[in-house]
Each structure stands twice: as C-alpha cells, then as structure tokens.
Structure 1
Amino acid sequence: MSRWISRFRKNQVVSLSSAIHHQKPSQASPPPIRVSITESAGRGVFATRRIGAGQLIHTAKPLLTHPSLSTLNTVCYFCLRNITPNNTSHHLLFCSEDCKHNSKVFYDVESRADWSAFHDYCRSQGLKYPLLAKRLACMIISGAASADFVDILQPASLSNEMISQMEEGFGLLRIAFVKADIMDEQMTFLSKQWYASVLSRIRINAFRIELAGGSYEDLLSMAAASIEAEIAVGNAVYMLPSFYNHDCDPNVHIVWIENADARLKALRDVEEGEELRICYIDVSMSRDARQTVLSQGFGFQCNCSRCLSGE
C-alpha cells in the first residue's frame, strides 16, 4: 500500500531497514527482507535471500485494532481472538489478563465515553475505519501514542464527498470526548485536519482480519459461515505489512490464525532481490473489476503482468 515517495525520505528507509534487522540475541535470525524505494511504486519490500514457497517470512503485531461492530461481544477487544461471551456480563471482553492489561493504552480513556451515537453513525453508513481513528485518538489522549503516530503510512486521496462525510464522524467523536469530560488540553490534536489525515491513511493501510482458525474443523466451520455472513472479526493497521505493494498475482500472502498477529508467507519460491508483493483485493475478480476496485479504493491503476495480459 505504498504508492508514494514525496513524504517518505531516504533516511527513513535506511532507519526502518536497520530496525527490521536489529534483533534481540534471543531471536534466531532477522527476517529475509529489506524496505527500499521502487522505481514506480514508492516503497517496497524486497527479499535479501532466496525464500522457499510456504516459508514464513515474518510476523507483525498491529499498531491499531478494532473489532467489527457485529463482533464486539464475541472477540477479544484487544487482539480480536474469538472467545465465548459470558451470558451474565454485558461488558466488553478480553481473552486474557495480558490483553486486558495491554488494552490500558486506550481502554481507560475509551471506557469513559458513550460511543452509542458514534457507533450508530458507523453502522448506518457501513463504515469501519472511523473505529480505528477513535481508538487512535484514545491512545493519544492516554499518552500512549503521539498525534503523528501513523504519519509514516501512505495517505489516500480524498474526494470532497469523502471529506464531507468525515465531518459528521469527527463531530460525533469530539462530542463523545467532551461529554466524557476529557480536558481541552488533552484534545488539542483533535482537529478536522487530523481526523481526515488519519482516515486517509487508515483507509488504504488497514487490513480486514479474517481468522483462519486453529484446526481443520475450524477452517471448515469458517468456510461454511462465510457463505451466510460477514466473517471478518475486525480491522487492523500494521507498520511493515503496509509497505508491501500490490500484485494481482502475488508471491506473498497474509494469514491470521487465532488473533490479529499477522503472518506473511511466501506463495512460491522468491529469489534474492525480488520484490515481495501481496494482493489487496479478491484475486478471483475479473480484470475490469480489479482495476475498478483498485482505482476507487486505492487510487492507482494496476500494471502487473496479470492485468497487462488481460487476464
């Protein structure tokens, strides 16, 4: 989702690459990848050695997560793991004490506000990304993140219609904080410009999380359920996975097994120096459908070999 160069300086590429390869002594080896500027698509991820088909390239923990509104009582509010709701409690659920503890970076602030109007707005408009903006705002207010937390990610181009739609969401977000007695000095970052900037980045960098399950039986039940209903448990934003460019015939895919921790695996053999690419959309769509979705949703025309061949 890296279609930009102007806002990403070369020294950021170098520092990020160094961070990827800096490992604790207890870890076996660094991931076989580097982040560099491509000739035509902004940043990209490249193999530093040969990677075999099916190999786990690296894992990634999310920067932000939020459950789908339909799964608020059936998945962990922090890691999105499926859990069995407690029929005697209507409180939001956590799958472990660790997740409950880790959620303090946003939950102490988030739990102070009444989000019913904001959630109703998202539900009625079919929106999911404002939920991630809400969570980020809570992290900033709590002091766990800075206002420019996601600025390194690629921004999307926003139409006037999109900006107009965002204004209603922004208003509801700010009202929820005001009614929760969040102090003005804690909300100095919370402007329409900040909200639009965050959503423009979340919009093309967020991943739709569909858990594969932990067993063959889980996979079968998930496949059956997907015929009847939305199987996404939520959405998440990552750092490194967001640097992977798109291809309609990708050599890498992302898998979520039990929670929002992403696993990136090679779909086929990849040679040293080859760019690693994922598919942002449903690969089974026709060429025209793919081009439309990528243009409208991500702001670019795909020129991968599959599209150029007309397949």
Structure 2
Amino acid sequence: MTSKIEGYFHHFPPKSFNVAIETKASATMPGTRSMLVAQKDIKAGEVIYKESPIVATLDYDLHEAGTHCNHCLRVIVDREAAVTTSDNFKSVFCSSDCQIAAKMQYQNLLFSLEPPLPPQMSLPLPEEQKEQRQAAQEALVSHLAANPERTGSSLIVAELVARQLALETEKMITAMMPGAAPKAPGGDFTDAEGGGYLLADHLERLRFLETEAPSEEVKLLSDVLAAALPGLEAFDTPERYATFLGKVAYNSFGVCYNGGRLDRPESYTLKTRTPFGTSHQVGSAFYTVSSYLSHSCTPNARPSFDGESAAEANPDGTTELATDGSAELKLVATRDIAKGEELSVAFIDVAQPLDARRAELQAGWKFVCTCAKCKEEAEAAAGEGEKVELPAEDASKLEPTMKRFEKTTEEVPAA
C-alpha cells in the first residue's frame, strides 16, 4: 500500500508544472506534511503553473442573478451568447464549451433527466422513474435555495461526488465498450501521468477537517443518485459525505478576480483560501495540485484568477474594466524562489493583526501559523508584556493510509 502511495508522487503533479509534492517538515505550518516544492529556480512575477478546478460553484446570489457562468465562474458579458439550460437548477453558462463540460462532469447526474449511461447501455427511463428523478432534484434545488449560505459547501460536495461517479462510470464503459464513453473536456487533473491513478486517489491523499454530515443533505443527494441510477446511492454514505465536506472545507480556494466584489452576503460563512478575504469572492473552487500549497503570512506565491486582459485593459493598475477572470488558478511568484523551496500562499488577508490572523486560521483550518512574521510579532508582543497564545497542534485530519505514510516519512532521519 505504501509503495502505491509513494508511487503516486512520482506521477503527479504533471512535470510541466515544474513543482513536486514532497513530504517533510513545513517551514510555516505545524508538523510534517505533503507540500508543493519548486522544481526549478523561479523569478518574481513568473506564472509557475495554471490549473483548472475539479469542481467550482458560484455563490448562490450570483447564481440566482444569472450574471456569471455556473462552470468557470466568469462574468457573462454578452448575454446573447450565454447558454441557458432547462435543467432543474436553471444554470447559465458563458459558452457551449462550459455547458458541455458541466453536463458531462456533474450537471447531467444532478440536475437533468437525461440517462446517466450511453444509449448502448441503457433503456429509456420509465415515466415513473422520470417523475421520481424530477422530484428528487427539485427537493435538492429547494434545499440549496433555502440555505444559500451553505451552497459553497453542500453544492460543491454534490458536484464532487457526481464528478467522481461520472469518471468511474466512464472508466467502466470504456472497459466494456471502447469508444462508447465520450471523454469530458477538462484542463484539470483527475488522473496522473501513469500509475493508473484516478480522482479517488487524489481525494484520498488530501487533508480534511473533522465535521458532521447534515443528515438532510446526505438524504437529498442519495435520493438524487438513486433516482438517476439505482445503486449509486451506496456511494453517498454519511461517513463519506462528512469526509468530502471536510476536504472541501480545508482545501477550497475562494475565486476572486479584478479586486473582488463588495456585495457578498455576510451570511455566507464558508472559509476558503483567499488572500483577499472571503467577503470578496464570487465562488469556491477545488483543485488537486493547489490543495498541497502551504499557508504563510509572508508567502512566496499568490493565486491569481484575473484574466489575460487585466493588465492591458487598465495600464494604470486598476482592474475595473477587465471582465475575463475565471476559476482557472494561476500561481504567481511574489519573489524569487529557489529550486526545492516550499511553495506557500496566504489563506487569509495577512494585513490583519497577529491575533486576528491566528484566530481566523484556527477557525478555518485548525492550526496556528508559525511563519517568520508570526514568530517575530509574537516575540515583540511578549516583550511588551502582552499574553501570547502558544501555537496549537494541527487539528486537520488525514485518511489512515496517508497518516501512516506521513508518520513513516517523519520517522526517517534526514540524509
């Protein structure tokens, strides 16, 4: 088992990213962990890599307004070119490419009445099953509408479950009937460069927060899956749902471009990784490579979701006129980075005072930052007689196989 886990890091991330995942003591976060390190010297301002999300969700108020693409989270500038759907979620897409990608990845399973299997492997749905599927989807949509503050977590978990099931189904169909399963367009990384690894292998290796699965949400998703294809509901157990919810909570990034928005409802409480603060994001996104980025209050990189036209549209440095930001994450070096150096970003707005930063990190990710900036400020506060809370242990969790792997790595003496 360990060899398969270790072998994964030889095949992922893609070599073209110029980063690798190494398991060692972090310079900025507690304990030993799997992290991204640079595989070459990088200059300040250089785009280290670009990554599309596995899944992404708009904040619910923007979904209702129909102003942004439900798939890539881009502002819809040309309303006439927008693609609207008749599915139960009433999604809007900026292009047919995004509509097709969403349909193949999760939309068909969650919100449409089209068969989840290709015609060669399925019979027309009986009217009774269509009615059951319609009712199950309407119940899920009603729950999302009644709880918009949870959309960033509950909907992204539903999409993640559907995405994994779609990939597993695609794999099964390809094995049984080569060429029968169309491959969904991507740009994200649900596999690896060899080794037969799939999305499930990526998810298994990621850290998560311990959380409880809301029983109503588990049942709603199970009903949708069962109505689509009886037997799929077995995938959605309370334990698995809770783990997915915890992985979303720990690893999701807040998508914020062109300076962010100023009208995000205060009730939207999901914490995401964003140096701008979650109050400015348009939605949440989940990535396989970028989930391994460490936090630092003096990071050597930053996530950028701005479009290519941002600098050209506004030579004076403002981004008000640039509208092509999206959920594609571009990791940009904020200073020169040496080969082998741990890559870090700010999970929060690091302009806040020490106590506020530590409180937000503890609440959102269950650790207290130990970066150089925090240590210096803590020592200065102690010198002035202020009470300084000692760093707590990292309370994030790992699945058993990865926990054993990181523990074994920690016990191996450095060469």
TM range (shorter): 0.7 to 0.9
Write the distance in 2 (CA, Å) between the matches of 1:183 and 1:173. 12
Aligned 1:9-48 pairs, distance under 5 A:
12=5, 14-22=7-15, 30-39=16-25, 40-48=31-39
Distance change in 2, residues 1:246/1:105 (3 Å)? same
CA contact (8 A) 1:13 1:36 kept: no
Aligned residue among 266, 270, 273 for 2:337: 270
- Aligned residue for 2:295? 246
| Post-superposition offset of 1:36 | 0.3
The reply on whether 1:122 has 2:108 as its aligned counterpart is no
Aligned 1:134-213 pairs, distance under 5 A:
134-142=158-166, 143=169, 148=200, 150-158=203-211, 163=212, 166-177=214-225, 181-212=227-258
The reply on whether 1:76 has 2:64 as its aligned counterpart is no
Structure 1 stretches lacking a partner, 5+ long: 1-7, 23-29, 213-218
Q: Give the SS at the match of 2:364.
A: helix
Deviations 1:168-226 (A, max 9, x none): 32233334555xx22331221111111101001010100111123xxxxxx6xx5xx52
Write the distance in 1 (CA, Å) between the matches of 2:356 and 2:368. 12
> What is the number of equivalent residue pairs in this alignment?
279
| Post-superposition offset of 1:270 | 1.2
Q: Provide the aligned C-alpha RMSD in A.
A: 2.8
Write the distance in 2 (CA, Å) between the matches of 1:156 and 1:74. 32
| Post-superposition offset of 1:50 | 1.8
The reply on whether 1:131 has 2:155 as its aligned counterpart is yes
- Aligned residue for 1:215? none
Residue range with higher mean Cα deviation, 243-252 or 132-141: 132-141
- Aligned residue for 1:25? none
State percent identity of aligned pairs. Answer: 21
One-letter identity of the residue aligned with 1:283: V
One-letter identity of the residue aligned with 1:82: V
Write the distance in 2 (CA, Å) between the matches of 1:151 and 1:177. 22
| Post-superposition offset of 1:231 | 3.9
Distance change in 2, residues 1:96/1:89 (3 Å)? closer
Write the distance in 2 (CA, Å) between the matches of 1:153 and 1:299. 15
Aligned residue among 46, 49, 70 for 2:40: 49
- Aligned residue for 1:234? 283
When Rg is computed on C-alpha atoms for both structures, the one with the higher figure is 2
- Aligned residue for 1:302? 369
TM-score (norm 2): 0.61
One-letter identity of the residue aligned with 1:184: P
One-letter identity of the residue aligned with 1:101: I
Distance change in 2, residues 1:94/1:105 (3 Å)? same
The reply on whether 1:101 has 2:81 as its aligned counterpart is no
Write the distance in 2 (CA, Å) between the matches of 1:228 and 1:287. 25
TM-score (norm 1): 0.80
Deviations 1:130-158 (A, max 9, x none): 11011123334443588836222111133
One-letter identity of the residue aligned with 1:92: S
Distance change in 2, residues 1:276/1:193 (3 Å)? same
Write the distance in 1 (CA, Å) between the matches of 2:221 and 2:14. 39
Structure 2 stretches lacking a partner, 5+ long: 26-30, 113-136, 171-189, 191-197, 266-278, 307-324, 379-415
Deviations 1:215-250 (A, max 9, x none): xxxx6xx5xx52787542211100111101110110
CA contact (8 A) 2:51 2:328 kept: yes
| Post-superposition offset of 1:78 | 1.3
CA contact (8 A) 2:69 2:92 kept: yes
Write the distance in 2 (CA, Å) between the matches of 1:291 and 1:251. 19
Distance change in 2, residues 1:156/1:93 (3 Å)? same
